[in-house]
């Protein structure tokens, strides 16, 4: 009687295992999954039949493999790991933020034969933290330039130029949020890229009358695209050419047709971008060391542009050598 009162039977343990809302799964020392509860099926999208006996690396992003092996070493040292924040992969390939708790599994002799893992989805907390970071970045970038107030808190001036910067910053943040949630929509139509560039030239020169924009392109260059998003990419590349090469007033924009592909490039004649920075320049919130002090913004424009071009089935990249300017290129299928 005492035994049954303090040690739940296997049926009770199985009921608890299946009823827990967090994903629970076990794997052995060869990383093969040996147990899988219903919550794990809901979180990751795999049934128990599909994953039992499979490698747990099925759930782990490649850039987290070494992290997993390091954690396993901790388990083998008979340590329990609580609330370890990382990322895991669902069946669809979506990367989700999780908080993991690891515990060693032992046999009757006390020998470690595997590990149990409890995975808690922290997507909501992760998104909240990202939004908080974004807001902090806006404040740091623009706070003192937008308004001036009296000691009583009454606004006395409003800088329209800085207001426009704020609008761009907030728009970029909304676009990033849409990209992360998979809700950035494209309104596709046949667009004459050459005509779009010609229309943009006038507004660009009005905003930057001291610059010379040299354009080389055919009269017609049709692509299947979202006109507004394509204009957003071109605007970002031209604005960057102005921002990062303030002493140079010449910018070149070229459109070429190459093997059923429309190749567009924007070249500045500024200080250029180091090879190290080229590897990260399309990343979210990234600003190169060379330009961090001379430019405003959050470092989102190229991240957004890359996503837009890739959603169109194209590619975007940069070519640069320090001291010889930078050329940003993107390609799209020619209609």
CA-based torsion, 91, 97, 99, 104: positive or negative: positive
Between strands 212-216 and 250-258, the pairing is parallel
Q: What is the rounded average pLDDT of the residues 240-264?
A: 92
Residue 120: strand pairing partners: 99
The CATH code that applies to domain 186-333 is 3.30.565.10
What's the token pair of residue 316? 């975007």
Q: d(Cα 18, Cα 21) in Å, to the nearest integer? A: 8
Average pLDDT over residues 18-44: 89
Name the pLDDT band for 181 (thresholds 50, 70, 90): confident
Q: Where are the domains of the chain?
A: 2-121, 125-184, 186-333
- What's the confidence (pLDDT) of residue 138? 55
* pLDDT of amino acid 137: 60
Q: What's the rounded Cα separation, in Å, for the pair 287 and 229?
A: 22
What number is the average pLDDT over the span 10-39? 77
pTM above 0.85, yes or no: no
Q: In this predicted structure, what is the pLDDT of residue 174? A: 72
Q: How many CA atoms lie within 13 A of 333 on its CB side?
A: 8
pLDDT band with cut points at 50, 70 and 90 for residue 143 = very low
Cα–Cα distances (Å) from 10 to 15, 145, 324, in that order, read 9, 66, 71
What is the band of 333 on the pLDDT scale with cuts at 50, 70, 90?
very high
What pLDDT band is residue 164 in, cutting at 50, 70 and 90? Answer: low
Q: What CATH architecture does domain 2-121 belong to?
A: 2-Layer Sandwich (3.30)
Confidence at residue 328, expressed as pLDDT on a 0 to 100 scale: 97
Per-residue pLDDT at 158: 47
CB 98 within 8 A of CB 121: yes
Between these two residues, 173 and 30, which has the higher pLDDT value?
Answer: 30
pLDDT at 1 over 50: no
Q: Is the pLDDT of residue 173 over 60?
A: yes
Does residue 8 register a pLDDT over 80? no
Mean pLDDT taken over the chain: 82
Asked if the domains at 2-121 and 186-333 fall in one CATH topology, the answer is no
What's residue 301's pLDDT? 86
Q: 165 pLDDT band (50/70/90 cuts)?
A: low
Alpha-helical runs (H) found in the chain: 2-6, 10-19, 38-44, 48-51, 65-76, 123-146, 160-181, 193-207, 227-243, 275-278, 301-311
What's the Cα-to-Cα distance from 200 to each of 179, 187, 253, 255, rounded to whole Å? 25, 19, 12, 14
Mean pLDDT on 190-215: 93
């Amino acid at each position: 009687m005492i035994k049954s009162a303090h040690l739940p039977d296997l049926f009770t343990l199985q009921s608890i295992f299946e009823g827990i809302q967090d994903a629970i799964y076990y794997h052995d020392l060869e990383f093969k999954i040996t147990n899988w509860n219903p919550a794990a099926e809901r979180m990751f999208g795999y049934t128990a039949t599909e994953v039992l006996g499979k490698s747990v690396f099925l759930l782990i992003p490649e850039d987290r493999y070494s992290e997993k092996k390091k954690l396993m070493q901790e388990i083998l040292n008979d340590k329990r790991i609580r609330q370890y924040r990382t990322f895991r992969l669902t069946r669809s390939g979506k990367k989700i933020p999780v908080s993991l708790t690891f515990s060693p599994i032992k046999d009757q002799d006390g020998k470690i034969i595997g590990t149990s893992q409890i995975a808690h989805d922290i997507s909501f907390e992760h998104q909240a933290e990202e939004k908080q970071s974004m807001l902090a970045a806006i404040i740091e970038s623009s706070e003192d330039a937008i308004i001036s107030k009296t000691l009583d808190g009454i606004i006395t001036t409003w800088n329209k130029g800085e207001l426009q910067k704020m609008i761009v910053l907030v728009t970029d943040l909304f676009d990033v949020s849409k990209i992360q949630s998979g809700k950035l929509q494209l309104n596709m139509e046949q667009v004459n890229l050459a005509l779009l560039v010609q229309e943009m030239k006038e507004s660009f020169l009005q905003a930057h009358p001291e610059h010379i924009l040299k354009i080389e392109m055919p009269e017609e260059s049709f692509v299947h695209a979202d006109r507004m998003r394509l204009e957003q990419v071109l605007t970002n590349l031209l604005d960057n050419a102005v921002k990062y090469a303030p002493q140079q007033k010449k910018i070149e924009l070229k459109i070429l047709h190459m093997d059923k592909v429309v190749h567009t490039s924007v070249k500045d004649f500024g200080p250029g971008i180091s090879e190290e920075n080229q590897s990260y320049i399309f990343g979210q919130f990234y600003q190169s060391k060379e330009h961090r002090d001379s430019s405003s913004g959050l470092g989102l424009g190229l991240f957004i542009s890359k996503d837009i071009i890739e959603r169109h089935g194209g590619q975007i990249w940069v070519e640069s050598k320090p001291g010889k300017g930078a050329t940003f290129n993107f390609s799209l299928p020619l209609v």
